[in-house]
Structure formats: C-alpha cells, structure tokens
Amino acid sequence: MGNPAFFLIGPPSRSASLLWRWLGAHRDVFMTARRELGFHAFKGMDLNTLAQMDPILGDVVTRSDEYSFAFQIGRSRLTGDASTINGLMPELAATIAADVPQAKVVITLEPPILRAYMAYQFNRTRGIEKARSFHEALSLEPARLRTNASPFLQYTVGSRYRRLVEAYTAAFGRENVHILIADTTYVPVGKALRDMCEFLGISPPPEGAVLGMEWQSQRLEDRFTRALADWRIGGLRADFRTGVAKDVRWLEKHLALALTSWIPSEDNDPEADSADP
C-alpha cells in the first residue's frame, strides 16, 4: 500500500506553495502533481457536493485505493502529501497519525496576518470570496464556519498557529514534527531548507542554490502594509491582538525564537489607546 512518508502541513500560504514546488523538484522526493489531495478531510464524500462548496474540492481524493495509488509511482523516493486543508483542520491530526503512524510532519508557518491577507487575495482571484474588503471577510468568518462555506475562507482560524502545532505534535510526537519558519527576518531561506532536509533525511541544497525560494519580496511587503491598514478598520483589531498575538507568544516559547514582527507593535498602532487590555 502506498502512503506518504511525510506531510507538508500548513494553512494555504505563498511560502507553503513555494516549498511544495521546491520539494517536488528535489531528486530524493516525490510530491504528487495534484497538490490538494484532501483525502483525510474528505474521505468517502461526494465530489459533486464538494465541488459546490468550492470548485477546487471537486478534484480531491475520496477513496483509499486512489490515495494509495497516488504515491505508488514515487515509492522509490521519499513521498509527501502537501494538502493544505490539513493545516486548516488541526482536528485531522489524530486521524492522519492513525492512518500513517510512521510519517513525519513539516509545518510551514509565515507571518499570520500576511498569510490571512494573501489567502483573502487568492480567494478573490479564484472567485469564491465575495467580500469586497479583507475587513469584511474577517467579519463574515464566524458565520461562514457555521455553514457549508469553503474551508479555504478561514482567514483568522488559519492563522491561529497554536492549535495546529499542538495537534500535530500530540499526534505524531515532537521528534517527528519540524516547524519551518518562512520569514527571512528570523531564519535565512538556506538554513530553513537545510534544517528541513536534515529532518527528512534528504540531501541538502548546495550553498547558494535557493534562487526562487525567497519567502518575501517588496511586493509582498507592500501588500502586508495594506493588510495592516485594512485590519485596523473597525473592531477586529482587538480580536487579532488577543487571539493571534497570544498564539504567537506561545509559539515563541515553543520554539525559543522571538517573532516580534509577526504582530504589529502597539506603539505604532493608531488604535492602541482605545484597545481592550
């Protein structure tokens, strides 16, 4: 039976997409051409129903034999499943571990507000996001979670990293979970890739051979600035500060790594004076 040797876990993000492509080109690794397999989230479900929820879900894998076959061709190499839905549904961790107990897990994390904003922009491009602003989309999220809306519309939930890390660590054991910080402010791209390769037991990239793997760019930084401006509109700023910021502080302790820029400084926040304590 074919099963992945590792899972690339993380909510939808630019850095996770770059990493999936990079691993797919690695001589020691086999990544399925179809990225969003979604097997453990949608096993046994009707594809037409899923497609109505989100067109991208009309092509997921719902049968065990189809899932096994997806990895058969690459069984001479290290096989990986990069389904992003597994990062939006931490409750799947125990199910995945029961199905593939020997697998390793790589969790890719990037600045949470940037991740949420870029996911919003991507969903606008795909046509499934009808909210006209990031602020409006965040406002709609609680109601969407109670309906059959696409799971990819989870912006705040997808940026709450503590539950994600805790779930997969509990299910697989900390020694089998590697967290990749996709932010060159804290970890250079080359080091991030080498550390991941060592964890997976594959050959590291040659020094300097990480072209095209920069997580950030000036264009992204400009979008991040706009995201912060949009994020501060209305009453959602406190929700992010008390929720996402709390998770980032937990993650800092878990990794012994300061991630101060992942949450805006209240000193530079025009609404800080009126914020809840």
* pLDDT single digits (tens) 199-258: 999 999 876 565 556 665 555 556 656 655 655 544 455 666 678 889 999 999 999 999
Question: In the prediction, which pLDDT does 106 show?
Answer: 98
Tokens 């300097």 label which residue? 208
Which are the contacts of 140, defined by CB distance < 8 A and separation ≥ 6? 131, 153
Question: In the prediction, which pLDDT does 26 show?
Answer: 92
Question: In the prediction, which pLDDT does 225 show?
Answer: 63
Phi, psi dihedral angles at 79 (to 5 degrees) = -95, 145
SS3 of 109-129 = ECCHHHHHHHHHHHHHHHCCC
Segments of the chain scoring below 70 in pLDDT: 1, 207-241, 264-277
**Over the stretch 83-93, which tens digit does the pLDDT of each residue have?**
999 999 999 99
> Dihedral of CA 258/264/266/272: which sign?
negative
CA distances (Å), origin 261, targets 64, 252, 255:
42, 12, 15
Question: In the prediction, which pLDDT does 99 show?
Answer: 95
Question: In the prediction, which pLDDT does 240 show?
Answer: 65
Question: In the prediction, which pLDDT does 199 show?
Answer: 98
Helices (H), the chain: 14-24, 39-42, 47-53, 64-72, 85-88, 93-99, 112-126, 134-145, 161-172, 189-200, 218-231, 237-255
Question: In the prediction, which pLDDT does 2 show?
Answer: 75
Domains annotated on the chain, with CATH: 6-274 (3.40.50.300)
Which are the contacts of 123, defined by CB distance < 8 A and separation ≥ 6? 129, 150, 152, 153
Question: In the prediction, which pLDDT does 207 show?
Answer: 67
Question: In the prediction, which pLDDT does 257 show?
Answer: 95
Question: In the prediction, which pLDDT does 145 show?
Answer: 86
Question: In the prediction, which pLDDT does 122 show?
Answer: 92
Question: In the prediction, which pLDDT does 193 show?
Answer: 92
Q: Quick one: which of 97, 246, 35, 258 has its CA closest to 161? A: 246
Q: Return the exposure string of 76-102: e unless at least 16 CB atoms fall within 10 Å of the residue's CB, then b.
A: ebbbbbbbbbbbbbbebbeebbebbee
Question: In the prediction, which pLDDT does 269 show?
Answer: 39
In the structure encoding, which two tokens stand for residue 225, read together? 């600035």
